Chain A
Amino acid sequence: MKKYVDVYKQCMYSAIQTASAYRMNFIVSSLITLIGNILFPLVTLLIYRAGTSFPGWSLYEVLLIQSIFTMSSGLSSLVFGGLLWTTMSHVREGSFEVILLRPLNPLFYIVATTFSVESVGLFLGGAALFIFSALHIGAISALAWLQFTGMFLAGTAVLAGLSLMMAAMSFKWVGNSRISELADSVLHVGKYPLPIFPKAVQAAATLIIPVGMVGYLPASALLGRAQAGDFIAVLPCFVFLWAGIWVYRHMIRLYEGVGG
């Protein structure tokens, strides 16, 4: 275990060193990622500015959902952000063997070496929007914070599971740079209050691909709107993460070093 912690720490250090070697590129790409991801509340702002709303949700409550979504994306991206592209590149070039030959768990090795420092900006941008929205929604009880923390971690697990599944897909769908769009489209549901969707979509977004846990359910917990049944949705989130790990490891076993 200590070996894995040491390797991870070393990889984080290398990632930070690499980022500081190309400071301007790091700053520009962090800023663009940050601006690009925090701009999606713009649609919400314009909707509310036009004098309408999501029924039952104030502007700051919707911004709270979207800020939690951004924070969760930043956190997941920090750890799993580079997984898809690195796996895809190794599979396409037929160089995954190099990873298999190392005296470490290949999944751990890939995750550790793709630590994405740029995602710190995304997390911090989400956090700033979160503080701004939270200040406008009134007092939040200690129990609500506790519930929020559990749900936020579950939501981050969903994003990690999605990253793993997308990366696993690249073992078979070789070189398809559009795989990430599949995950992005599904995640789009998690950026808005779930009650605006039909019951079937709500059920799928809570129990099958629990994207509702990425933004909506943790925000509901903070607002004191979480129902007892919502907490059951924490379980499928971790099952989803476990499924992602299982699928990725299974696909490693199916890997054929062809390249080209």
Chain B
Amino acid sequence: MNRLKYNWLICRAVAEVTYKEWSAYRTHSLVSVIVGPVYFMVQYFIWTAVYGGQTTLGGLDLQQMIRYFGATALIGYLIMDFADWNLSMLVRTGKFLTFHLRPVHHRSFALFQKLGHRMLGFLFEFLPCLLIFIYIFGIDMRPASLPWTLVSVVLAFLMNFYVNYTIGLTSFWLVQSGGIRSAFLLVSGIFSGALIPLDFFPHWLQVTQLFLPFQYIAYMPAMVFTGHYSLGGLQLSLPEAVGMQAAAVLIMFGCNELVRRRAMKQFTAVGA
């Protein structure tokens, strides 16, 4: 119990400091208040034109599609992460040593930092954009099930973090992991479902996505939000979908732990 309280205190302190640190750059977050709605507006007109007289496309009607894009944009603000870049920088400069000597696991420290950073995102990106979507675009942004959506977003948050942290860990071998990071961002951008719902992909590619981490980051929480999840012919109820997402997060955590243990053996504490 004491251990739990100790960890909670560290989490709170790190998150609070990160929040204060990034508050100095809060106007940077406000860029999202313009960028998010502009992207959303373009998607809105694209899909309104594409639907034309059709009632459903990829199993979604127009309203569901608009809500899907609204949800992916908003969820993106809650789970945004750059743990890979941060870890890569620490390894490259040799600064990781200072974290190695601290009585806090670096992965936990990075996760707590992300919590603080996203709290700022919640206030300066998520809330303004949610209000714009509701009051300016008139979109119904009420989730089909608030509890399941919240759990799904938390799991997406963790999945995004563990995947990014694993990418960052490659710096222990490569020193400069910028190339892998860019390549991953590219693949993730396509297969997470942020550009287009995965229902539009060929069937074999949809089935492949069930075994890759990408869909658990954006597509699944957005579909849980809309109240209907199906991919590759697999139709799941919300609890089943969230259960599958939880299992995927656990597997990802296991993979991350394996890579981390190997990476620590590579660490030389010398910057490049």
Contact = CB atoms under 8 A, between A and B. Distances in A.
B58 interface: yes
Given A29-B179, A35-B186, A176 B45 contact: no
Interface stretch (B30-38, B110-118, B230-238): B30-38
B186 A39 contact: yes
A115 to B, nearest CB: 21
A197 interface: yes
A143 interface: no
A179 B31 contact: yes
Interface in A168-223: 173, 175-179, 181-182, 184-186, 188-189, 192, 196-198, 201
A185 B32 CA distance: 10
Given A28-B179, A50-B200, A178-B28, A186 B186 contact: no
A146 interface: no
A47 B50 contact: yes
Contact of B52 (A55, A178, A198): A55
B207 interface: no
The interface residues of chain B, by DSSP majority, are classed as helix
Nearest to B49: A196
A39 B186 CA distance: 9
B150 to A, nearest CB: 27
Contact of B38 (A29, A175, A188, A198): A188
Contacts of A42: 190, 195-196
SS class, residues of chain A in contact with chain B: helix
A52 interface: yes
A32 B180 CA distance: 10
B176 to A, nearest CB: 8
A141 B135 CA distance: 48
B54 to A, nearest CB: 6
Interface in B169-228: 179, 182-183, 186, 190, 195-196, 200-202
Contacts of B25: 175-176
Interface in A53-68: 53-55
A55 B42 CA distance: 16
Nearest to A56: B49
A177 B50 CA distance: 34
Given A39-B186, A55-B52, A179-B31, A188 B42 contact: yes
A171 to B, nearest CB: 15
Interface of A: 25, 28-29, 32, 35-36, 39-40, 42-43, 46-47, 49-50, 52-55, 173, 175-179, 181-182, 184-186, 188-189, 192, 196-198, 201
Interface of B: 25, 27-28, 31-32, 34-35, 38-39, 41-42, 45-46, 48-52, 54, 57-58, 179, 182-183, 186, 190, 195-196, 200-202
**Considering the complex of A and B, which 6 residue pairs feature the smallest CB-CB distances, nearest first?**
A196-B49, A185-B38, A46-B200, A178-B31, A185-B35, A32-B182
15 contacts: A29-B179, A42-B190, A43-B195, A46-B196, A46-B201, A49-B200, A50-B57, A50-B200, A54-B46, A54-B49, A176-B28, A178-B32, A181-B31, A184-B35, A188-B38
